[in-house]
Amino acid sequence: MLDADVITRTRIDEAELAEEPLLIADGLTKWYGRQLGCRDVSFELYAGEVLAVVGESGSGKSTLLQLLAGQLAMSSGRVLYRMRDGATRDLAILTEAERRLLFRTDWGFVQQDATLGLRMGVSAGGNVGERLMAVGWRHYGQIRHEAESWLDRVEIDPERIDETPRSFSGGMRQRLQIARNLVTAPRLVLMDEPTGGLDVSVQARLLDLLRRLVQDLGLAAIVVTHDLAVARLLSQRIMVMKGGRVIEQGLTDQVLDDPQQPYTQLLVSSVVPV
Ligand SMILES: Nc1ncnc2c1ncn2[C@@H]1O[C@H](COP(=O)(O)OP(=O)(O)OP(=O)(O)O)[C@@H](O)[C@H]1O
Ligand SMILES: [Mg+2]
């Protein structure tokens, strides 16, 4: 199922590097016993690019994210990632230590349920600082200072740095999760319904914040959403899933303005509630 020869450790010059995909998903398939999670999902993501994954409930969106993040064992397929040193590696053959470092530093994962993405018993500052320590920061004062500046950046009053997220609102928790994930300057962030479950006004602000951060940091992101407006606002490319398969993908504006598949046409005309 997985070839050892997929690892390309060839050194290439910068210009060439910029044209290589950051992430390649190749035939990702997940069966939960006899229940299909997703099947044969393939795409490429380039540095700085935002891909939206849309589709109805149960279409396989979260399964796909979990496969990418190594949180679920895949039935078949492979994920290739261009590491910071320029080498594209098959994630399946990283050592456990390499994988952990990658997911803690170069990747972020913003969970739909912030209580799963945060350490609820740890202070806001600790939630952010922990990721810095994972990349080698040791100086307490510097960590605290950086955490404060990130709280400020995601519009949380830095004075609340010693409170745990339990005393935060849903929107604040989501923003704290974003700070925790972005503080290590990851190159890729996976987000599962980042604005789900929030008031419409809170959603709009969070979305605006996300859009600015993604732009400022030049992040690549994969954003699962059932809100086409979120996809329109954040992404350059979109992938439409149904029944575990990708049924249409392309540039977001093109797909949303001129959907080819009947299902996508229904989605766009809002006949189907997603
Ligand atoms: N742990 C599991 N065991 C068995 N089946 C599962 C499991 N997790 C997901 N599935 C099934 O896999 C399919 C895809 O589910 P998934 O959670 O990926 O959908 P989704 O697109 O994220 O849906 P939603 O929008 O509701 O979050 C569904 O049929 C679901 O029932
Ligand atoms: Mg889901």
Does the pLDDT of residue 6 top 50, yes or no?
no
For residue 138, report the distance from its CA to the centre of ligand 2, in Å: 36
The residue whose C-alpha atom lies closest to atom 31 belonging to ligand 1 is 58
Mean pLDDT of 204-216: 87
Per-residue confidence (pLDDT) for residue 46, from 0 to 100 = 95
String of DSSP letters for 208-272 = HHHHHHHHHHT-EEEEE-S-HHHHHHH-SEEEEEETTEEEEEEEHHHHHHS--SHHHHHHHTT-S
Angle between helices 170-182 and 200-217 (to 10 degrees): 10
Per-residue confidence (pLDDT) for residue 197, from 0 to 100 = 76
Q: How far apart are CA 252 and CA 259, in angstroms?
A: 10
Amino acid at 157: D
The region of weakest confidence among 12-21, 83-92, 141-150, 183-192 is 12-21
Per-residue confidence (pLDDT) for residue 100, from 0 to 100 = 87
Atom of ligand 1 nearest to the CA of 274: 25
Q: pLDDT class for 17, splitting at 50, 70, 90?
A: low
Per-residue confidence (pLDDT) for residue 14, from 0 to 100 = 52
The residue whose C-alpha atom lies closest to atom 5 belonging to ligand 1 is 32
Q: Is the CB of 30 under 6 A from ligand 1?
A: no
Q: How far apart are CA 129 and CA 147, in angstroms?
A: 6
Q: Is the CB of 252 under 6 A from ligand 1?
A: no
Mutational test site, ligand 1, from 28, 54, 56, 61, max ligand atoms within 8 Å of CB: 61
Amino acid at 246: V
Mean pLDDT of the chain: 89
Cα–Cα distances (Å) from 41 to 11, 51, 163, 266, in that order, read 28, 14, 41, 22
Q: 272: which 2 tokens?
A: 């189907």
Mean pLDDT of 214-241: 92
Per-residue confidence (pLDDT) for residue 62, from 0 to 100 = 94
What is the SS3 assignment for 8?
strand
For residue 143, report the distance from its CA to the centre of ligand 2, in Å: 33
Mean pLDDT of 37-42: 98
Per-residue confidence (pLDDT) for residue 68, from 0 to 100 = 96
Question: Higher pLDDT residue, 66 or 273?
Answer: 66
Q: How far apart are CA 228 and CA 267, in angstroms?
A: 8
Q: pLDDT class for 27, splitting at 50, 70, 90?
A: very high
Per-residue confidence (pLDDT) for residue 143, from 0 to 100 = 97
Does the pLDDT of residue 205 top 60, yes or no?
yes
Per-residue confidence (pLDDT) for residue 157, from 0 to 100 = 97
Task: Give CB contacts under 8 A, 24+ apart, made by 125-129.
Answer: 125/151, 125/161, 125/162, 127/165, 127/176, 127/179, 127/180, 128/176, 128/179, 128/180, 128/183
Atom of ligand 1 nearest to the CA of 30: 12
Residue among 220, 216, 209 at smallest CA distance from 186: 220
Per-residue confidence (pLDDT) for residue 271, from 0 to 100 = 55
